[in-house]
Amino acid sequence: NAGVTQTPKFQVLKTGQSMTLQCAQDMNHNSMYWYRQDPGMGLRLIYYSASEGTTDKGEVPNGYNVSRLNKREFSLRLESAAPSQTSVYFCASSRSGGTVEQFFGPGTRLTVL
């Protein structure tokens, strides 16, 4: 099992460009999450999906959109990238909301110029 996979691993964008970060899990988990990690800070939740067909805003949702494509896949879209969105983005999954043990992907390192 690959666990949680993310693509791409690295990305450089210019201000105003758009892109979609992809995430997939093969653990048959119900819940999926997108976080951003900035230097010296803990992880901050952008959006989460408790189950297929539902999405909810987290702590820092502005400037992002998400799609829970199916049970396996959860994508994060930046419609008009800004330098403040330069960060490392992590996708995670958990069996269900009742068990919060989250399993993380390797991350996408995004730089917005």
Partner 1 sequence: GQQLNQSPQSMFIQEGEDVSMNCTSSSIFNTWLWYKQDPGEGPVLLIALYKAGELTSNGRLTAQFGITRKDSFLNISASIPSDVGIYFCAGLPPDSNYQLIWGAGTKLIIKP
Instruction: Provide the binding-site residues for partner 1, judged by CB under 8 A.
Output: 4, 31, 33, 40-45, 48, 50, 56, 58-59, 90, 92, 97-98, 100-107
Shortest Å distance, C-beta 94 to partner 1: 8
Closest CA to 35 of 108, 112, 96: 108
Contact, 70 vs 84, CB < 8 A? no
**Closer Cβ to partner 1, 56 or 79, answer by number:** 56
Question: Which helix or strand (DSSP H or E) is residue 10 part of?
Answer: strand 10-13
Shortest Å distance, C-beta 14 to partner 1: 24
Shortest Å distance, C-beta 75 to partner 1: 17
* 92 burial type by CB count under 10 A (0-12 exposed, 13-18 middle, 19+ buried): buried
**Closer Cβ to partner 1, 80 or 96, answer by number:** 96
